[in-house]
Amino acid sequence: MTAPGGAPPAATGDVPAPAPGPLERRARRLLSWYPAGWRARYGDEFAELLLAELAEQPRAWRRTVNVAHCGITARLAAAALGGRLEVQSAPGQGTAITGHLPVPAASDGR
């Protein structure tokens, strides 16, 4: 027996995953702000939290800005390669990102 299109039927238990809905796509888009290592470690759990929040409040620009801000901060911290990176934020005064990166000593050419 073959499935429509001439393909063999799927084995028992091999059910194709349903196409992601709009909330799942939005959660994955928001997760893309974070570096791959962070997503590998925390992505599934964070996606579940995002899905619950998106279901409760589908449109929230503050959430989007917050997730993007935290994702960019995580990317900058990952790029610091052992340096120290701090994000300082004061209500109503914006955010400052400061850091200390390891810098190799300059050669004097000898």
pLDDT tens for each residue of 55-77: 999 889 999 999 999 999 999 88
Mean pLDDT of the residues in the chain = 77
| Count: domains in the chain | 1
In a domain, 32, yes or no: yes
pLDDT tens for each residue of 19-34: 778 999 999 999 999 9
CA terminus-to-terminus distance, the chain: 78
In a domain, 107, yes or no: no
In a domain, 12, yes or no: no
* Enclosing domain of residue 46: 22-83
| CA distances from residue 23 to 29, 41, 75, 87 in whole angstroms, order as listed | 10, 21, 24, 29
In a domain, 9, yes or no: no
pTM of the entire structure?
A: 0.57
Q: Which tops the pLDDT comparison, 76 or 83? A: 76
From 37-51, 74-88, 92-106, the region with the lowest mean pLDDT: 92-106
